Amino acid sequence: MEFLQAQLPRYLDGAWITLQLTFGGAVLAFVLAMVFGIMGTVRSWLLRAITTVYVEVFRGIAALVVMFWFVFAVPDMTGFELEPMFAAILALGLNVGAYGAEVVRAALNAVPRAQVEATVALNLSWFQRMRLVVVPQAWAQMLPTFGNLIIELMKATAVVYMVGILDLTAVAREVRSGTGETLAAFAIAFVIYYLIAQVLIFGMRLLERRANQKLGRTPPSGGGIMSLLRPPSVGTQVGVAK
Amino acid sequence: MPPSDTPENTTAPGVGDGVADGPLIVFDQVVKRFGDLTVLDHLDFDVAAGERVTLIGPSGSGKTTILRLLMTLEKVTEGRINIGGEPFSHMPKGSGLAPASESYLRRRRKSIGMVFQQFNLFPNMTVRRNIMEAPVNVLGLSKDEASARAEELLDLVGLGDKIDAHPTQLSGGQQQRVAIARALAMRPEILLLDEVTSALDPELVAGVLDVLREVAETTDITMLCVTHEMGFARDVSHRVMMFDEGRIAEEGHPDQIFGDPQEERTKTFLKSVLENGH
C-alpha cells in the first residue's frame, strides 16, 4: 500500500502521456481513415491507387519502425528535429489510419446499392450523397471495428518508451529498476491499462448505441446505462427496411 | 382538395422546356444488353407530355430496365433516348453526340422522379428529412419551405401524423406512401413507378394505389408505371404497352388491351396474371 501511495503520482503522469498518445493518434488515424477510406470508393483510379499505396505501406511497416524513422532518420536527412511525442503520434496515427481506411472503405461499400439509387433518383450530387446518406449509414458499421482499433492503438503506445517518452510502460520499467518490486511495478501498470481500455470500450459502445438509434434500431431490452457493459446485440448491418 | 395542396407543377425548368409539340420521351432504337443477355432489343416508342403509360409483361421482358434507363441508373448499349426534344442518353459534343457525362445527366434528370419496389427510404433520417433533404440540397429551398412542402405532401398521402417517425417504425405501405411523397417533393415532370406495390402485403396495396390514383387525377405529371395491378392500370393509364423479350408485343388503350387483346402473348400473360389472383 505504501508502495502504491509513493509511486502512484508517477504512474498517473505516465498514464496521462499514454492517454495523450492514444487520443492524438486516434484523431489522426480517424481523419486519415475517413479520407483514404472514402478515396478508396471513388471512380478515379488515381485516387484509389494513392489509397492502396498508403494502406499497404503503413499496414506493412511496424509503427515502431516508422517512429524510429521520424525520430532518428528524419533529423539526419533534413536536420529538422521532430518532437518525440509528435513523432510518436504521427507514427501511431499513420499505422492505425491505414487499418481504419480499410474499415471505412468496406463499410461504405456495404451500404446497399438501392440506397445509392435512391439518391440518384433525387438528383443528389456525389458529395451530398456521401454526407447525407452513405457515410451516416456506414457509420454504425464502422464503429465496432473502430472500437477494436482504438484499443489496439492504446496498447501500441507502449512502444514509445523506446524513443524516450515516459509513458505508463516506461514508468513501470523505471519503478521496477528503481525499487526492485517487479511484480508490483508491472501489476499497477496492468490495472491502469485495463481501466483505460474499459473507459474506451464504454465510450465506443455509447457511440454505437447512438448510431443504431439514429438508424431507427432501438437498443435491446433494458437499454439503461448499464446495458453498455454488454456488447450490443443489435445487428450492425445496414439493410433496406422492408 | 384546394389546388394549392396538389403537387402539380409543370413549370419546373428542365426536360420539357419549349416543346409544347412533339413527344416528351422518345426511345430511338434502344438496345440494352447485360453481357450476352439482350434486355431491350431495338426498342422504339414515344410518350407524350402528361401521358400515363403502363408497362406490363412477364418478368425479364425489359419493363423495369426502361425505367432504370430513364432514371440514369443504367446506360443504353445502343440507340438513343431523347427527352423534351433534346438528347438524354447522350449529350451534344461538337457536331455529334457523346455518351452523357455525370454533370450533364445531373442537369437533365432533375425533372424525373422514381418510386422503387423496395421504397428505399433512408433509414438514417426521419420521414420529414427523407422528404426535405433533396428539395433543400438540390432545389435550394429553405428549410421552412421544404418542411412545409413535406407536411403538405404527407397530408396528401394520409401520413401527416408520421412526419417525425423513423422509416423502420412504419409499415411497408406507409413507407411506400412516404417514398411517393419524397418523389413528389422534387416536383417531377416525369414520375417512374417500378412495381411499387409488389413488395407489399395484400391488405396494404389499396392504400398506395389510392394515393397514386389521386396523383394521377390531380396533376398532369407524365407517368410510366410498371405494375401487375391490372385494375389500377386500367383506371389510370392512357395507354398500356405489353412487353415480351425486350420488344413491344402489343400496345393500345387499356380497354382494348385488357378487353380485347390481339396478340397471343398478351392473352397468355393476362390469363396467368389473373390466375395468380391479381
Crossing angle of helices A45-60/A84-110, nearest 10°? Answer: 130
Q: What are B166-225's pLDDT values in tens digits?
A: 999 999 999 999 999 999 999 999 999 999 999 999 899 999 999 999 999 999 999 999
Distance CA B150, CA B147 (A): 5
Q: What percent of chain B has pLDDT over 70?
A: 92
Q: Inter-chain contact A241–B175, Cβ cutoff 8 Å?
A: yes
pLDDT reading at A221 higher than 80: no
Note the residue count of chain B.
278
Please compute the mean of the pLDDT values over residues A34-54 and round it to a whole number: 95
| pLDDT at residue A219, rounded to an integer | 57
Residue A107 neighbours by CB under 8 Å, 6+ apart? A37, A138, A139, A141, A142
In the 8-state DSSP scheme, what is residue A226?
Answer: G
The three three-digit cell numbers of residue B142, written as one number: 429553405
Beta bridge partners of B54: B225, B240
Nearest to B261 by CA among B230, B235, B236: B230
Q: How confident is the model at residue A225 (pLDDT cuts 50, 70, 90)?
A: low
Q: How confident is the model at residue B9 (pLDDT cuts 50, 70, 90)?
A: very low
The three three-digit cell numbers of residue A103, written as one number: 474499415
C-alpha R_g of chain A: 21
Q: Please tell me which residue of chain A has the smallest CA distance to B70.
A: A121
Distance CA B29, CA B34 (A): 17
Q: What are B258-271's pLDDT values in tens digits?
A: 999 999 999 999 99
Q: Inter-chain contact B116–A114, Cβ cutoff 8 Å?
A: yes
Nearest Cβ partner for B124 among A118, A121, A137: A137
Asked if A58 contacts A29 with a C-beta cutoff of 8 angstroms, the reply is no
Beta pairing, strands B52-56 & B239-244:
parallel
| pLDDT at residue A215, rounded to an integer | 87
In the 8-state DSSP scheme, what is residue A133?
Answer: I
Distance CA B208, CA B181 (A): 11
| Burial of B109: CB neighbours in 10 Å, binned 0-12, 13-18, 19+ | buried
CB atoms within 10 A of CB A2: 6
| Whole-number Cα distances in Å, A21 to A92, A159, A175, A195 | 8, 11, 21, 16
Residue B44 neighbours by CB under 8 Å, 6+ apart? B27, B28, B29, B30
CB atoms within 10 A of CB B119: 27
| pLDDT at residue A233, rounded to an integer | 53
Q: What are A86-126's pLDDT values in tens digits?
A: 999 999 999 999 999 999 999 999 999 999 999 999 999 99
Q: How confident is the model at residue A237 (pLDDT cuts 50, 70, 90)?
A: very low
Q: What residues does each domain of chain A span?
A: 2-229
Q: Please tell me which residue of chain B has the smallest CA distance to A240.
A: B120
| Burial of A88: CB neighbours in 10 Å, binned 0-12, 13-18, 19+ | buried
Place of cell 401527416: B160
Q: Inter-chain contact A215–B71, Cβ cutoff 8 Å?
A: no
Enumerate chain A positions whose Cβ falls within 8 A of a Cβ in B. Answer: 114-115, 117-118, 120-125, 128, 132-133, 136-137, 214-217, 238, 240-242
* pTM listed for this prediction: 0.85
Class of domain A2-229: mainly alpha
Q: What percent of chain A has pLDDT over 90?
A: 74
Nearest Cβ partner for A124 among B124, B137, B168: B137
Asked if B255 contacts B234 with a C-beta cutoff of 8 angstroms, the reply is yes
Enumerate chain B positions whose Cβ falls within 8 A of a Cβ in A. Answer: 71-73, 106, 109-110, 112-114, 116, 118-125, 133-134, 137-138, 166-169, 172, 175, 182-183, 186, 199
pLDDT reading at B125 higher than 80: yes
Please compute the mean of the pLDDT values over residues B102-123 and round it to a whole number: 94
Nearest Cβ partner for A122 among B72, B172, B186: B186
Distance CA B41, CA A124 (A): 31
Q: Inter-chain contact A242–B137, Cβ cutoff 8 Å?
A: no
Q: How confident is the model at residue B275 (pLDDT cuts 50, 70, 90)?
A: confident
pLDDT reading at A222 higher than 60: no
| Whole-number Cα distances in Å, B225 to A25, A129, B114, B208 | 54, 26, 10, 13
- The string of DSSP letters for B115-162 reads E-TT----TTS-HHHHHHHHHHHTS---HHHHHHHHHHHHHHTT-GGG
Distance CA B69, CA B142 (A): 31
Nearest Cβ partner for A133 among B106, B122, B167: B122
Q: Tell me the HSE value of B224 on the side-chain side, using a 13 A CA sphere.
A: 29
What are the backbone angles phi and psi of residue B248, rounded to the nearest 5°?
-80, 115
Please compute the mean of the pLDDT values over residues A133-140 and round it to a whole number: 95
Please compute the mean of the pLDDT values over residues B99-107 and round it to a whole number: 91
pLDDT reading at A189 higher than 60: yes
Nearest to B24 by CA among B83, B109, B76: B83
What are the backbone angles phi and psi of residue A156, rounded to the nearest 5°?
-70, -20
Q: What percent of chain A has pLDDT over 70?
A: 89
Amino acid occupying residue A61:
I
Nearest to A36 by CA among A57, A52, A56: A52
Distance CA A236, CA A33 (A): 19
Asked if B86 contacts B274 with a C-beta cutoff of 8 angstroms, the reply is no
What's the gap in Å between the CA of B262 and the closest CA on chain A? 36
| pLDDT at residue B84, rounded to an integer | 93
Asked if B77 contacts B231 with a C-beta cutoff of 8 angstroms, the reply is no
pLDDT reading at B243 higher than 70: yes
Q: Inter-chain contact A133–B124, Cβ cutoff 8 Å?
A: yes
